[in-house]
Each structure stands twice: as structure tokens, then as C-alpha cells.
Structure 1
Amino acid sequence: MFSMRRDRTELAAQVQLESLMEAAGDAVFRLDAKGTILHASQRAGELMSPGESLAGQRLEDFVMPADRPVVGMVISQVTGSGKPGKVNVRLKTLSASLWVELQVTAYTGADGQPELLAVGRDISGQQATEERLRHMATHDALTGLPNRSLLSDRIRMAIAQSRRTGRGFAVLALDLDGFKKVNDALGHPVGDALLRVAASRLAETMRDVDTLARVGGDEFVAVLPGAISEAEIQIIARRMISTMQLPFEIQGHTLYVGTSIGVAVFPEHGDSEVKLLAHADTAMYRAKETGKARCVIYNHEKFTQPEHDVSMEAAMFQAVRDGEFLLHYQPIVDARSRQIMGFEALMRWARPGQGMVSPSQFIPMAESNGLINLLGAWALKSACVQIKRFEEIAGRPLYVSVNVSPRQFRNDQFLDIMDEAMALSGLDGQQLLLEITEGILMSDPEHAEALLHAMTARNVRIAIDDFGTGYSSLAYLKRFPIATLKIDRAFIKDVPTSVKDVAICNVVLSLASHLNLSTVAEGVENEEQLEFLAAHGCGLIQGYHTGRPLLPDDIIALLKSQQTSRQASPKPAAMPAAMPAAAMQ
């Protein structure tokens, strides 16, 4: 009699459990300790096997093959420990796989044996959202190609695999020839459409194992894994070049662009991501300089400096990664009032164990190996942000002067980098002075004119650095939108004792005055020079006499001390003729 009552009680408990399983509305399974289905909810049956009982079949058989090992592991762990387990898996359904969060709980069944309750909650929507977010974080929104972040992962994976297998791989840097003219003439919508089609064409030329990424603007990078010969690289490159030379039909326009390609091979041309990308970029620029629409493979002997500089070049790549480059700021002061009007940002390299490396050593090297684009973009953004901090201390507007190298000037992304720097800092265009040399203007006058007008359209001012030491063509002062002439220190050094230097300075200052250009005299080292320049109409002064290049914290201390002096004085205090000794150290 007692046994019958116990059986009825256990049967009632089982019926109640199965009733609760149906009420849950999820895919719910009652399993034995080995994962065999004892009972499945109606919802589970509808999803996995409509009209047929699931009892007697293993739950793992209804899970996608890749997820079966983890399901078996969870079932084993829950059975052994009695503690609940949870895992996200894909169940096979009639139409597709369904992502579920499978929660497994152990309990004692009616016969005293351990049983499991597995509840599968549909998380397909959540998984889809997470997948979209992952895709957005690793892919370019315009073209759908991998972005710089995913490219970096792929290169690191290729390096690791190459070190295991001994099989190298190639990195290709691609830049569209003529894209900027299309973008400027027809606008960004046409340019964006062109980029999408170009990306699709390039992707079609590649193997399934290759990676094509868009790293910005019209720049792409391809990673070709496996031991790949120079002949194979040239075949792939020719396919890319050929497909890009076909006409593009974009929004009613027939457009023609090409592509220039630079190649670096691991490990011959670099044993790190930074080196490979920089050397591929260097080779790509060589392809552009020597005719465009061609492929150039990096060559240590042709593209780098003499052997004694190789160790320094390697240290430069390491320095970029370790953040050894920094900016000093040299005051630019009003020649009459001695008040600080702005600062020139000067790049410095603090090499551990070697002290400061002269810019005359590392700047040409960075220009040669391609790092100047990376360093220049960092310097421009950092300087714009820093000058806003100086303004807060000074309590008045200041401007920052930043040097632009020839390679930066030729970079099609330079305007975008400049726009980003101003947007990031909130700096007004008038507060940014970009210094270029005369040689940059004369090497490609058409490109220079278009780019300078695009800069001045943003109110950014242009200065000619080292005026009088280059081509000294007066024609470009009329042709190009120049705002400032910087008088080279070579003409300041012997003023006012040298009759010739005095004559040259007077001519330059008079010319600038008649053309309504501002002037900055560089290399002013004593009071006599300063007084002469101020008396002859030079507006701004820069040199050790009025301020050495200093770190940002030292500039902030200087500005604070001047603020204190002005507040203590009944009238605005002029800047001292010479900087305090403490500030000059």
C-alpha cells in the first residue's frame, strides 16, 4: 500500500515537472545522467522534430557539431558535481541553427537516479546584436572590408604562423592613383561609391586565404599568407592593377583611377607589424614616384640609409611602439611687447641610454622609411590639443606652428588628419600655422596649389619655413596663399653687424609688408638682434633669447608665472627680454 502511494506521488511529481516544462515556453529537456532525452517540451519538439518524439535520443545529436563537445562536458560536470552549468550553443532546427543559452541543473529522479533538467532560452537576437557590434568594431563601415584593427590581428597571426612553419608572407600597401581629383571634383558621395566598387574589384583578385583591409581614405593593405615568391606577388599585383585600370561607371560618371602597390615580405623586409607596414608603404610611394600603376617590392639597399644607420632605424620602430617621441614647444613672441603669441611644436626623440637624438638624424630617416606619416599625424594632433591647454593657463588665444614634411604633404590623407586634429582639439583654423619648405611648393606646384587652397578654406594659415634658403621664387608668393614668412637663422646670425645680412633682412621685411604677410625671425639669440628686427618691422621673434624649446609642463609653469606677474602689476607686464634661467634648462 505504501509503495502504491509512493508511485502515485512520484508520478504526480513527474507530471507536475513536465507541466511546468510546457508552461516555460522554452525548449526544455528532461535528461538522464548520460544526456539522453527522457522528455522534451512541446516547444523543443516544434523546433527540432515536429510530430516526432525526442525521447530516447541524445541531446548532443541536436546540437551543431562544433558545439557538441562543450555540451557533453557541461552534462558530465553537472552530473558529477551537482552544481548548475550554463553554456551558449546552437541547436539544429528545421530552417537553421538557433542560438540558445542552455542551463543545466541536476536533481534526483523518481527512481532515485540522478536526472538533468536542460532549459534552452532563445538568445538569437542577442547573439545577432553582439555579432553586428563585433563586425562594426573590426570592419570598415564604407566597404565592409576588415579595418586597421582586424588587419593588425591578421598580420600578428601571420607572423606567428610563419615563425612556426618557416613559410613567409607578403604585405601589400595599395593607394588609388587619381582618387583625390575625383573626390575633389565630384564630391564625397561619388568618391565613397568609387571606393566601394574599387574595394570589391580588389577583393575579387585575391585568394580565400588572403586579407584585404581598408586602412583609411583610398589606402588599402593586403596580407598574402604562405611562402609566396616574387613572381607570384607580381602576378597578383598585375591582376590588381589591371582590374583597377578598367573604367568605373559611378552615378552617371565614367571614371578612371589606377593603383600603385608597394610590397614588404616577412621576414626579409621586417620582423614586426610596424616595420612591414612602413616598408610596404615606402615601396608604394616609390611606385607612385616612378610612374604610378605599378608594383615595387621593398629593397633595403635602395630604400634605406647606409649600413651604419640601420641600428638607428630599428631603434626608431621600437621607439614608436614604446612612446619615446615627444614634443617640445618653443615660444614665438611679439617683437615689441615681448608677449608670447604662440609656440612652434618641435619633435624630439628621447632615446634610452643615448639622450636626445638630433632631429637632423631621425627626421630624414623617418621620411625615408615611411614613419614620418605616423609621427607627423601624432605630432599635429598632440600639438593642437596641447595648445588649448596652454590657452586655458594664459587666459587668451594662442597659436601653434607645426612643420609638415614633403612626404606628409604628398599624403592624400593629410587634409583628413588636419581636420581630425582641429575637431579633436576644438582649435580654430586661424590658430594653426603649418610650416612648409620652398622645395615642397616647387616639386609639384599643381598639387601644392590645390592643397594649400583647401587648407586656407579651413582658415588654416601657411608659413614658408627657412625663407630665402631654397628656390626663393617670388612667383609662388603671388600664386600660393601664403600667410607668413619665416626668416632663416642664417640671415639673422650676424645682424646687425653684417651689412649683407642687414640688407637681406630689410628686403624680406619690406617684401612681406607690401604683400601683407606676417614675419617670424628664427634663431634670435641676443638683444641687439631683437631690437634691430623690431625696429625694422619684424612682427614675431623666435630663438633662445626669448625662449628655448621646453616640455609642456615647463611651458605651463612659465605661463602661470607670467599670469601671476601681470596680476601683481598695475599694468600688463611685458615679457622679459630673456627667459628666466630655470625655464631655459
Structure 2
Amino acid sequence: MEAAGDAVFRMADYGRILFASTRAIELVSPGTSLNGLHLGEIVDEQDHAALDAALAHTVSSGKPSRANMRLKTPHGALWMELQIAAYFNADGQTELLAVGRDISGQQETEERLRHMATHDVLTGLPNRSLLSDRIHMAIAQSRRTGTGFALLALDLDGFKKVNDALGHPLGDALLSVAAARLSETLRDVDTLARVGGDEFVAVLPEAVSDAEIQTIARRMISVMQMPFEIQGHTLYIGTSIGAAVFPQHGDGEVKLLAHADTAMYRAKEIGKGRCVIYDQQKFTQPEHDVSLEAAMFQAVRNGEFLLNYQPIVDAGSRQIMGFEALMRWHRPGEGLVPPSQFIPMAESNGLINLLGAWALKAACVQLKRFEEAANRPLYISVNVSPRQFRNDQFLDVIDEALRLSGLHGEQLLLEITEGILMSDPEHAEAFLKEMVARNVRIAIDDFGTGYSSLAYLKRFPIATLKIDRAFIKDLPGSIKDVAICNVVLSLAKHLNLNTVAEGVENEAQLQFLARQGCGLIQGYLTGSPLLPEQALAMLVAS
């Protein structure tokens, strides 16, 4: 026993120590005899059940047993693998022999591997795998107790700008500090996970009222608005938050995460630095229809999406000057799916980047064919979604579209809403500078229906204002619409901007707009959205 490198304990059959080897004493209690103690007195309380089971098995069956448990030492818990065997002593009484091997290093390695499998290496927060477990636990608990819980999706505002300007090492340091700050705002029962990049998700058990959610969200927003001192730099970022509540907003992990994500993007769109709670009445897009979403992914593979082209016509001469490319989804057996259904869904699930890239390239290539048939220059107008606008690869998509089609930059007009432009002015300014370098033009779509401030017209290189159909449909009979159109057209004239009036459906509207100096019109009066061959025939005949 003394020669063994492992700890050895000789015990009475109920676990009282009769003898402990020198190695056992060195590991467990240097300089102190262990004789007379029960083995359970030096085993951590958490492992008493495992010890009792091993002792009982060996005594009752006579067969050896093995168990891993923690032994108490002056320096903390020591993981030991105990192998316990029974034998008869010289008096015929049952005794036990336990041989313990120090496995602390092995156990620490296993713990570290388990932690790495369930936690984010950079921030130490739970990762997607552990988050999924916590969500399922919260769902199970909610079903038992009848109380719900909230799920928050967080995205850091302005992080990408810092990361690009100062490098990934500093960005990683910023993420670590941000994660620590966010964690400090939460309760012990809450879970904060990093799910990728600068995106986080929080699980808030039993927090279901709007007031509770907003209180917690405000704390998170507040700490993120404080300056960060990182490696000699004073940095300012923020966070936008979307919330979904179980079971009102989803009965499972996938729906809850999707709806919280949708709400978070809405928070970004309307100004950032705020929390938006998912609302079924307001967010009625069918991205929540799982079967339709599955059909949409299938539609991408099957090539069910197509482009229609609506003529954009000179208000005076009525000559076609260009086309707006409009995406359509023709679902076999169902007919056309309205864009108001599938566009928000594509924005929510990320397909908009793939569809938008395809649409931009296909529209540019098609315009080149229109030009060759008409033997004169034309331009193509393409809508840009919020997610595309924030996508790092969007510039590459534009370059590829121009290269494939052979179009000049000025023949491409990108339509962006006021909300997209003002949701992240710094990003917008950088993006528009890249457009100027390529001679690509920018149009403000639905002008007048978004932000009331006109400062961006001065700040950004805008080429065209598209007057929303809401201001056109009652012309020329509505005094208010007449006044609004006159103001917009006058403003555009003095700023040297082009104007396109949308939704022109009758001659009276066209005549009024032409008299007031509107340059271009678009609507059913001069051409509905057409298939490429129909648009080509109309172009050649004009």
C-alpha cells in the first residue's frame, strides 16, 4: 500500500477508515491521520450519493465498484477515481479496500472541453447550443407553471464601423466588454448568449409584460450608450432590441427567435437605440407561415421568381425613358403571390440578399437587351431592401451587375426609402460615396411618407425623388395633394433633382403633373408591370 503511487484506504465494511496510505494523507490532509474517519467525511457532499451507492454495491454483491468523486482537501476539491473492492480479513470479517487515482487534470480538461462546446470562446457567454437548451427549459417551465417568458434579440449599433476602422482585435475586445456590460444588467435567472458577430439573445424567465421587458431593455440600452475605453480609444456604440413573448408570439424556439429578430430589425429601421416588442397585429407579414416560407426556399431552387418591368415615361413626350424592375413570385398551382407577402418574409429570413442580387443582375442584363432593340439609351430602376443596404457584399453585387450587363453606372438607379437612409446615416454616407464613384444614381422612394426632416437632401448625393402614389391618386381634385405635389416639385427643381410621379392612372393626373414640371411618370396610364417580351414589344412600338 505504501509503495503504491495512488491513495489507498483500508476500511471497515461500512466505510470507516482503518488505514490510509502516506499518499492518501498527502493528497487529502497532510500531517493529519485519517484513521477512524468515515470516508464520507472527506468526500464532497455533492458526491455522497455516489459514494453510498458504490459502498452498498460492493458490500452486498462482493463485486468491485468504481466512481469518480471529489475529495475535500485544504486546497479545495480534488477529483479522484475510486475503485472499491471487498475482501475477508484474518478474522473473517468483510473489509473494503479503496484505491484512489488523482484525475483532477483529466477532469479539468473535460470540463474545459464541455465549456468550450457550450460557450462562446471570446465572451464566455453561452453559445447557440446552450441557448437552445435554455429556451427549451424555459418553455418546459412555462408550460408547468402557466407563466410565459421573454426572448430578446440584440444587435450592436455601430459595431461594424468600429471593427472595420480599427481592426478585429480591437473589435473583439469591444465585444468582450459589451458582453460583460449586458450581462451585468440581467438577473441571475436570465441567460445572455452570443449567437454570432455582434448579435446576442437574452432569455428572461417570467418577464412577460411590456413594462417588465422595456425596463430590462432600457437598462441594456443605457449601459451600451456609455463610452467604451478600449486600447486607448474612446468608442461609442449602442444596441437595438427586439422582443418576443412565449407563448403569445410563438410556441417554439424557431418562431420566437424569428419574431424577436423581426422586431429587432424594426427597431433598427425606426431609429435604433430602442426596444420593439413583436406585435401580431402590426407585423402581419406571412413570414410567420412556416409552410409558405418552406415553399419560398423551394421556389428559389425551382426558379419560380421572375421580374416584371414597368415603363417610366417622360411626362411631356410620353417616350419610355426607362423601367422599374419589380419582383414577382409565380407559385405553381397558386398563381402570383403578392410582393407584400413574400418581400417581408425574404427580408426576415435573409433570402432577400440572394433574391436581390439575382434581381439586380437580371434587370441590368435585360435593360441591355431593351437598349439594343430600341437603339437608344435607357435606364433601369431597382429597389433596395434594408437588409441588402446593410449587407457588406452589396457593393460587390452592384459591380458584378454592371460588369455582366455592360451598362454604365448612370444607367442604374437604386431606389432607397427615407427610413433606410436615415436609420444609419454614417453607413449611408459611406455607401453613397461608393455610388458616386461608380456614377450609380440614387432615388428616394415613397418621398414624403417617411422622415419629415429634409436635411438628408442636402447631406446626401440624391438624384431623384419618387413622389408616392398617396399624393397622386386624388389629383387634381384634392387641394392638399395639389399643394404637396407643388412643394415637392418646386423643391426638386431648386435642388436640381429629377422627379418621378408614381401611380399615375388617368389623363388628368398626367396633365397636371406635366404642367407643374414633373419630369417622369409611372403608372397604369402609361404601362402596367410587364413581362420582358411584353415590355420589349411596347418599347419597340413607341
Q: Aligning the two structures, in what range does the TM-score lie when normalised by the shorter sequence?
A: 0.5 to 0.7
Q: Tell me the CA shift for residue 64 of structure 1.
A: 0.7
Gaps of 5+ in 1: 1-20, 333-345, 381-402, 420-428, 456-460, 477-487, 504-585
Partner of 1:172: 152
Q: Tell me the CA shift for residue 433 of structure 1.
A: 8.8
Letter paired with 2:258: A
Equivalent runs, 1:139-218 vs 2, <5 Å: 139-218=119-198
Q: Tell me the CA shift for residue 190 of structure 1.
A: 2.3
Q: Tell me the CA shift for residue 62 of structure 1.
A: 0.9
Partner of 1:408: 387
* From 66, 70, 82, the counterpart of 2:62: 82
Partner of 1:229: 209
Letter paired with 1:363: F
Instruction: From the superposition, tell whether residues 52 and 252 of structure 1 become closer, same or farther in structure 2 (CA, over 3 Å).
Output: closer
Q: Tell me the CA shift for residue 437 of structure 1.
A: 9.1
Q: Tell me the CA shift for residue 50 of structure 1.
A: 2.8
Which SS does the other structure have where 2:224 is aligned?
Answer: helix
Equivalent runs, 1:431-510 vs 2, <5 Å: 438-440=414-416, 443-444=420-421, 447=427, 450=430, 490=530, 492-494=532-534, 497-498=537-538, 500-501=539-540
Letter paired with 2:414: E
Is it true that 1:93 corresponds to 2:51 in the alignment? no
* From 21, 26, 45, the counterpart of 2:25: 45
Is it true that 1:60 corresponds to 2:40 in the alignment? yes
What TM-score results when the alignment is normalised by the length of structure 1? Answer: 0.59
C-alpha separation between the residues in 2 aligned to 1:61 and 1:452?
Answer: 72
1:319-373 CA-partner distances (Å, limit 9, x unpaired): 59xx97872369x9xxxxxxxxxxxxx999999xx999969586335246x3x23
Counterpart contact for 2:80–2:102, Cα < 8 Å: yes
Which SS does the other structure have where 1:90 is aligned?
Answer: strand
1:242-285 CA-partner distances (Å, limit 9, x unpaired): 11111112222222111111111111111111111111111111
* From 271, 285, 289, the counterpart of 1:313: 289
Is it true that 1:243 corresponds to 2:205 in the alignment? no
C-alpha separation between the residues in 2 aligned to 1:219 and 1:49?
Answer: 48
C-alpha separation between the residues in 2 aligned to 1:52 and 1:24?
Answer: 19
Partner of 1:282: 262
Taking only the aligned residue pairs, the percentage that are identical comes to: 57
Instruction: From the superposition, tell whether residues 96 and 452 of structure 1 become closer, same or farther in structure 2 (CA, over 3 Å).
Output: farther
- The size of the alignment, in residue pairs, is 407
Is it true that 1:28 corresponds to 2:8 in the alignment? yes
C-alpha separation between the residues in 2 aligned to 1:116 and 1:349?
Answer: 78
C-alpha separation between the residues in 1 aligned to 2:536 and 2:248?
Answer: 56
Instruction: From the superposition, tell whether residues 314 and 254 of structure 1 become closer, same or farther in structure 2 (CA, over 3 Å).
Output: same
Counterpart contact for 1:100–1:120, Cα < 8 Å: yes
Partner of 1:327: 301
Instruction: From the superposition, tell whether residues 377 and 240 of structure 1 become closer, same or farther in structure 2 (CA, over 3 Å).
Output: same
C-alpha separation between the residues in 2 aligned to 1:46 and 1:300?
Answer: 66
C-alpha separation between the residues in 2 aligned to 1:33 and 1:454?
Answer: 82
What TM-score results when the alignment is normalised by the length of structure 2? Answer: 0.64
C-alpha separation between the residues in 2 aligned to 1:367 and 1:302?
Answer: 17
Counterpart contact for 1:30–1:116, Cα < 8 Å: yes
C-alpha separation between the residues in 2 aligned to 1:252 and 1:209?
Answer: 35
Partner of 1:301: 281
Counterpart contact for 2:5–2:23, Cα < 8 Å: yes
Partner of 1:390: none
C-alpha separation between the residues in 2 aligned to 1:475 and 1:355?
Answer: 37
Counterpart contact for 2:162–2:171, Cα < 8 Å: yes
Q: Tell me the CA shift for residue 490 of structure 1.
A: 3.1
Counterpart contact for 1:234–1:295, Cα < 8 Å: yes
C-alpha separation between the residues in 1 aligned to 2:384 and 2:85?
Answer: 66
Counterpart contact for 1:138–1:146, Cα < 8 Å: yes
Letter paired with 1:259: T
* From 244, 257, 264, the counterpart of 2:237: 257
Counterpart contact for 1:28–1:41, Cα < 8 Å: yes
Q: Tell me the CA shift for residue 451 of structure 1.
A: 5.9
Partner of 1:517: none
Instruction: From the superposition, tell whether residues 109 and 231 of structure 1 become closer, same or farther in structure 2 (CA, over 3 Å).
Output: same
Counterpart contact for 2:384–2:415, Cα < 8 Å: no
Letter paired with 2:48: R
Partner of 1:115: 95
Counterpart contact for 2:71–2:78, Cα < 8 Å: yes
Q: Tell me the CA shift for residue 165 of structure 1.
A: 1.1
